[in-house]
Structure 1
Amino acid sequence: MTAIQEKTLAAKVRADFPILHQEIHEKPLIYFDNAATSQKPNAVLEALQHYYEFDNANVHRGVHTLSSRATDAYEGARDKVAAFVKAASRQEIVFTRNASEAINLVAYAWGNANVQVGDEIILSVMEHHSNLIPWQLLAQRSGAVLKFVELTETQEFDLDHYKSLLSDKTKLVSVVHVSNTLGCINPVQEIVQLAHHVGARVLIDACQSVPHMPIDVQSLGCDWLVASGHKMCGPTGAGFLYGKLDLLRSMPPFLGGGEMIADVFLDHSTYADLPHKFEAGTPAIAEAIGLGAAVDYLSNIGMDKIHAYEQELTSYLFQQLAQIPEVKTYGPNPNADASNRAALASFTTGAVHPHDLSTILDQAGIAIRAGHHCTQPLHRHIGAQSTARASLYFYNTREEIDAFIVSLKEAIEFFGSIFG
């Protein structure tokens, strides 16, 4: 893809995102915090408005027109998500509030029934807290043992170490597809195959991959996959769990209440078929509909195009960061292999604290993230208390990267003059 094509792709979509067309501290907004949450296109905003303005009613329970329209839109969103990740059946998609809830659903509904004393759960040192704490709690409840895959010299998933941890005691492997701090793209298809060879189940945290690249759950072969809608142009409050049909059917309900039942008696109940068995109570109807609109929007652009465009942007970002001596980046270098990482850069700048750097950049209208990015164990592992993170999406441009680099240099010079 040429630079002209790259610029054209951004130019085509930026008008769809009204939030991007504003000033922060009298400077044009440059939004580089997409790994935390993405911005929402007009198509999603309009879907939310349309539901509340014309179709607002509870789903599944009513036979009147508004309820029928709301149900059609809600279940239509499920069809869209299922097609987006290439699920074999719409029943394999469970709507949740977010990816954290989806992981907890598996940890309780499957984990409580299947993980026992002495079983082993393999994670990695790069996991987001959402893919760490639920398994810590499960290990405490069950007596299972947690094991952690470490990093290679290039700060990527150490596949050889992973292989050494696998055994007939391995019950579950739960790993991130793309690290939200290191940006590395993990070899999840091989991870899944190796785990299945020893009889273990696999959950993939795809929060940082589903918004940025084509995903085919059947090709990956994973048992479960989770993602958050708000990172893929959808609203907050809507995520999803993909699970293999037979596996989901074998799992007991996670929460009890309305919607997830077939028949209720005073002393017992029977449960609805998938996916409603796991969707207790009134769901986030508008949010799911908004997520469906986001899926339509991304699909119309093409995930292959988005992924290729972001690879170009990422290489350019790292080329520019490499020109600043004070900057230390983490994770693999995309200029050595553009296919091995996602569109984000976590970095430090010597003595300048990331929070101070973020504050100064905000004065220039530039939004980046600073802190541990919900990966405290990883930051300890790489020897950094915190990092700054610039994360890109398909509506970002090279011109924005140039402006970011200029402001970053000025901030480093400013703090250098203070600290001498």
Structure 2
Amino acid sequence: MLPDTTEVMIIGAGPTGLALAIALHQAGIDHVLVERLAMGLHTSRAGVVHAQTLASLERLGVAGRLVELGLKLENFAIRDRDRMLLKLGFGNLPLPYPYVLMIPQNLTEEVLADRIAKLCGVVHRGVEAKSVTQDADGAHVTVVQDGRETTISARYVVGADGMHSVVRQAAGIGFDGEAYDGVFVLADVRLDWPLGATEVSLLFSPAGLVVVAPLPDGSYRIVATVDEAPDKPAIADIQALLDARGPSGGRARVLDLTWSSRFRVHHRIAKSYRHERLFVMGDAAHVHSPAGGQGMNTGLIDAVVLGELLGDVINGVRPESELNLYEGLRRPAAQEVIELAGRLTSMALTRAPLLRVLRNVALGLVNRIPAIKRGITLKLSGLSRAKMATLPAPSQPGVRKQCNKNEFKIVA
């Protein structure tokens, strides 16, 4: 049963909402996590967890399990079909995670849920947040469950509810940006792939971009830009993309299709991450191209930082004025990610022959300069934004509560 009141209400139980719940569990903070969907998604969506994200997730006790389930890759390559333009190595990153970890989003969510199972709390599924208001006494969320409407009052409300966030709209926070032209195709396939399962490959061609990345079960993640695509691209559609954009020296062959989708990509960022008692994080705060695999990673770190900050404020370790640290740390990080993903996407979408030649020459030159390659690797891994992933020391003493219960329930 849903309570009438709580300290923190989280709307959305995707990766960011689950991660925030873990952080609040560990701080002993009473909270309510609601999710519109009756069950978690079984499709993989995001497929990579980067080094800095794993370092942040250590604080939630889930990094080790993710590493056990994922596929470690040390190389990221940008090619123009058969021609190598830029090869980046992650094997010398200055963290315990010197690699790109390929792991489907549904497995990441399972790991986060398993961690919650070892703590305490309830995930309320099949609960839709319809409206959010706030006043001097707190924030109030009207939700619908099984056709019945009720209102929950909270000290703070966090929107982890995606690009069309109810919380962000209720807070009156602008969402600046626009959509890219065309759409992206996303698919997981069984594949005979001439480049093998040792790198993430981003391939340019006159026809457009395709990304091919191995997954831990032996399948491959395909991401491609197209002008038009069916709602659920078929094997023939994916084969045509690889024929036109993959290596021409050794033909890729699609053997089976696990699932596929198409989506339109926006690049947007919230003007603010907080309005009084309301916060946004993850896709409710920032969306961008999947180039570089940064989206879920940025949202997970949002959740870790905000969870620790809310825990400190509610437990008296920090004054409420320090809640502004969240936006001060995480909005600049998202801005950097949007710019990085935008540059990669703009390069990939270049169609003019002269511009393609200039792009390839520039990337070839970068490939010969280790210092620049190192800088790009640090940006992709998130390590260049490490200072934006950690709160400064608390400004006042307090007692951090700990939750010692082991009960976990999913309420459908």
Normalised TM-score (structure 2): 0.25
- When you count strand as a share of all residues, which structure comes out higher? 2
Normalised TM-score (structure 1): 0.25
